[in-house]
A and B are shown apart, each in its own frame.
Chain A
Amino acid sequence: MPHTAAEPRRRSFVTELLGRSDYAIISDLVEPNSRVLDLGCGDGELLEWLVRNKDVDARGIEIDSRKVQRAIARGVSVYQSDIDEGLNGYPDGSFDYVILSQTLQETRRPLAVLTEMMRVGRHAIVAFPNFGHWAVRLSMLLSGRAPRSRCFPHAWYESPNIHFLTIRDFELLARDQGWTVEREIFLAGHRAGVRLANLRAEVAVFLVRK
């Protein structure tokens, strides 16, 4: 299905279809007919949507064999691997976009992953939950325990998250590494564009390049 120019209906449709607000933003950032690699692509939901609606050339990397099965079964070319191992084989500039959605905080070496993303892709799209959100700050302040919130629901002993970062952290890292932040989009619930983002945004989506 060919992509038609942006219309407000589509965004709400995307949100509804995928049920994830960061997916809606990511879909908006990706140009039609581009080459996309989704790291930690799960069962390929986002990639399938991008193929169908933006005619992208889609690839995915996912470690969980069950999710890989579902992704391949829905017709997406997904490669079973961990993210570090999966990225290093690709030639420089293989993709227009390399997407890392809600996984950065789970990687063992986030900076290495980000650097590889920007080697393999012309742009990196990074979406992550904001550890600076007021609910997280308040949770820790008031309870004196490892903070939990809507975006960080796990108890400390079973959380997949091993590197906690805030929007401010990411901005500083980008500055230090000399990356160009092309877009930053902040989400609170399904609402985009919040002010005082590091305090009020639950999820941030960055479009960056080297």
Chain B
Amino acid sequence: MLVETRLARFESVCLDCGASLSPVEVAYETYGTLNAAKSNAILICHALTGDAHAAGISHDGDGGKPGWWDNMIGPGKAFDTDRYFVIASNVLGGCRGTTGPGSIDPKTGRPYAMSFPVITIGDMVRVQKMLVESLGIERLLCVSGGSMGGMQTLEWAASYPDMVVSAIPIASTARHSAQQIAFNEVGRQAIMADPDWRNGDYYDTRPPARGLAVARMVGHITYMSDESMREKFGRRLRNKDKFGFDFSVDFEVESYLRYRGSQFVNRFDANSYLYITKAMDYFDLSDGSGSLAGAFSRGDTRFLAITFTSDWLYPSYQLMDVVKALRSMNRDVAYCDLPSNYGHDAFLVDVGEQTELVRGFLASTCKLRA
């Protein structure tokens, strides 16, 4: 599947912080064909560091790299592009084509950097709604995503329930927990402690590569599980058979984290990392006392919630809270805690059972609506 990233442009968007942003550009890709009734559209939302390239092989650039959820989206896959029209876009505040802190502020002719307004998950979804409507789609058959993508999915169902026939949040939460905020704060502090960060004003010079790499290393640890790390690395040494008795790389796991950190710097903007993690931390669909029932009181969206047993970054109880709130209103909700050793990464890599769930749920959603 050869795909192409396109750009949609909107005059402006009002943000939760009170500011507005104009113009707004959104990078997006689509896969499959929109049917005549425009009733087969599915919106896929990406996680913290994802982008609009969710599936297929890029037409241009990217070295022919497959999309980040290519194992889930495509002909015959869970989100079957022979049947559904799939839309994926880069989030507001991102650095992969959609307007973010690295974009040029038309007022100054220079990158926004830290003058970019603080954004929320709600803002990201508002921009996605503009994109979806610009494609002539009034109702989405499904909104889905893992991690922060699942947060956007829940925000969609809470804010625009009439536009969402079904929702599949995966390995996600309706309110960021203290532990999740804590890890994000470590990542932000690593970036801001890098002298190259220069209060975000680094676009003409060196980016804060070391800080961003450390943030990514912390992230990667939280995406795996004790068991998956033990399996993947154990205590194996890297290209040596005894300790170096110095602080070069001894262990495989060190080498892996350093490699992942340094690779990340090439494709991600440190300021975007600050803004997007902040949006995640602000995310709370509850009424403040922890009750989620109010958030989902409107509409008749069907839900399929999926969690993974070894995911300690987004533990199963978080989506179970959402499911309980839905159940207290007797809403149509299916829930499965899939066994996996891959930790939070499971929704990206351990997709066999996830595929069966999504496929069956989408098919029954189509049948129910017919």
- List residues of A whose CB falls within 8 A of some B CB: 57, 59, 65, 68-69, 72-81, 89-91, 94
Contacts and interface: CB of A to CB of B under 8 A. Distances in A.
A90 B328 contact: yes
Interface of B: 302, 304, 323-324, 327-330, 332-339, 353, 356-357, 359-361, 363-364, 367
- Name, among B302, B335, B359, B367, the residue most crowded by chain A CB atoms within 10 Å (CB to CB): B335
B328 A77 contact: no
Contacts of A78: 334-336
27 contacts: A57-B332, A65-B336, A65-B337, A65-B338, A65-B339, A68-B336, A69-B357, A72-B304, A72-B356, A72-B357, A72-B360, A73-B357, A74-B360, A75-B364, A76-B334, A76-B364, A78-B336, A79-B323, A79-B327, A79-B333, A80-B335, A80-B337, A89-B324, A89-B327, A91-B328, A91-B329, A94-B330
Given A75-B361, A75-B367, 19 more contacts: A65-B336, A65-B337, A69-B336, A69-B353, A69-B356, A72-B334, A72-B360, A73-B356, A75-B363, A75-B364, A77-B302, A77-B334, A79-B323, A79-B327, A79-B334, A79-B335, A90-B327, A90-B328, A91-B329
A90 B356 contact: no
A81 B339 CA distance: 14
A39 B330 CA distance: 15
A73 B302 contact: no
8 tightest Cβ-Cβ pairs between the two chains A and B: A75-B364, A73-B360, A73-B356, A77-B334, A89-B327, A94-B330, A68-B336, A79-B335
A65 B367 CA distance: 24
A73 B360 CA distance: 4
Contact of B336 (A57, A59, A80, A91): A80
A77 B327 contact: no
B168 to A, nearest CB: 11
B332 A77 contact: yes
A68 B329 CA distance: 21
Contacts of A89: 324, 327-328
A81 B359 CA distance: 22
Nearest to B327: A89
A86 to B, nearest CB: 8
A78 B302 CA distance: 12
B157 to A, nearest CB: 15
A76 B334 CA distance: 8
B184 to A, nearest CB: 29
B85 to A, nearest CB: 21
A90 B364 CA distance: 23
A154 B309 CA distance: 30
A72 B361 contact: yes
Contacts of B364: 75-76
Contacts of B323: 79
